[in-house]
Amino acid sequence: MSPAALVAGAVAGAGLFFLIFALIPRKVRLSKRLAAFDAQRGADLLPRYADSISGSAMDRRLGGALAAFCAEQGWEFPSLRATLALADKSLESFLATKVLLGVFGFLLGPLLQGVASAAGLHLPFALPVWLGLLLGAMFFLLPDLEVKQKAEQRRKDFRHAVGAFLDLVSMNLAGGRGVPEALMSASEMGGGWSMSRIRDALANARITGQTPWQALGGLADEVKVDELRDLAASLGLVADDGAKVRESLTARAASLRRRELTDAAGQAGERSQSMLVAQMLLVLGFLLFLVYPVIPALTGV
């Protein structure tokens, strides 16, 4: 039996197996049903920072079906949900994008086979199948890279906002305000996404009866920003002494600015090295272009 027939049979058998598996009714445990109900209820009641209203209707239906299936299986993805919330993207849209891109990448293999056949090139049957699987896997992972990069950029912006927030809180404390009033007033002075999250966390703390530093600590755990977690810890330790709070915040703001300057200098150095390498490659290519006509005369070819 030829390898092409073996690959075709394996792909057809796998597709038939997954189709039958999807059609078989499954018994869902009560805990999974409750988890799915809580997830749907939370999506309806809580404010969302994600783009659930964007995208086509097919994306929303497919993403909703995939999210419901994950909830029924008990797959909560807490770390992924936190990263998606930080990147302003919903779980439904993320899952739909992954599946659609994976299918699109897999279909590129047969498409390239058709283009090659139209051009008169006869490729083995297994080549477009393996190429489609490889492209499908690569396209399937692209949304993860995009979300991680966007979330990391958001964390970087959040750290910068925390530095400005520390300065504002310190100035409000110097004006004679208490720690809770200084925190709320400082959050109302700034704009942008980061300050909005801090302001919402402090406002929710008033409603739920939490202390402001507890709310900031919860927000730090959500956005994974260590500087905000350190701020919440220091406020919890010296919240009763306004002078110590002001000194601590001033020192933390200065340390955070020095760290940002160090990171910026490091990034500038990396970019300078990249530009140097690019210039060297351009010079090498130009030298090869100049020497190439002389090479046949020197080698006698």
166 within a domain of the structure (yes/no) = yes
Q: For residues 242 and 52, which has the higher predicted lDDT (pLDDT)?
A: 242
Angle of helix 242-291 versus helix 226-237 axis, rounded to 10: 170
Q: Which of 122-126, 161-165, 267-271 has the lowest mean pLDDT?
A: 122-126
Give pLDDT tens digits for 35-48. Answer: 555 555 544 443 44
- Residue 214 structural domain: 154-259
Q: Over range 226-254, report the average pLDDT.
A: 71
| Whether the predicted pLDDT of 243 surpasses 80 | no
Q: For residues 37 and 202, which has the higher predicted lDDT (pLDDT)?
A: 202
163 within a domain of the structure (yes/no) = yes
Q: Are 35 and 76 in contact (CB under 8 A)?
A: yes
| Whether the predicted pLDDT of 204 surpasses 60 | yes
Pairwise CA distance, residues 114 & 122, whole Å:
10
Helix, strand or coil, per DSSP, at residue 27: coil
Q: Over range 81-86, report the average pLDDT.
A: 82
Angle of helix 126-174 versus helix 212-223 axis, rounded to 10: 160
Average pLDDT across the chain, whole number: 75
Give the chain's domain count. Answer: 1
The DSSP letter of residue 29 is P
Q: For residues 57 and 117, which has the higher predicted lDDT (pLDDT)?
A: 117
252 within a domain of the structure (yes/no) = yes
Give pLDDT tens digits for 65-78. Answer: 888 878 877 777 88
Closest CA to 243 of 175, 165, 173: 173
Pairwise CA distance, residues 291 & 139, whole Å:
41
181 within a domain of the structure (yes/no) = yes
Pairwise CA distance, residues 90 & 38, whole Å:
16
Closest CA to 12 of 1, 24, 22, 20: 20
Closest CA to 90 of 64, 57, 58, 56: 64
Confidence (pTM):
0.60
Q: For residues 87 and 145, which has the higher predicted lDDT (pLDDT)?
A: 145
Q: Are 32 and 75 in contact (CB under 8 A)?
A: no
Q: For residues 146 and 267, which has the higher predicted lDDT (pLDDT)?
A: 146
DSSP assignments along 208-225, one per residue:
HT--HHHHHHHHHHHHT-
128 within a domain of the structure (yes/no) = no
Q: Over range 45-59, report the average pLDDT.
A: 47
Pairwise CA distance, residues 15 & 7, whole Å:
12
Closest CA to 242 of 186, 161, 181: 181
> For position 262, what pLDDT does the model report?
77
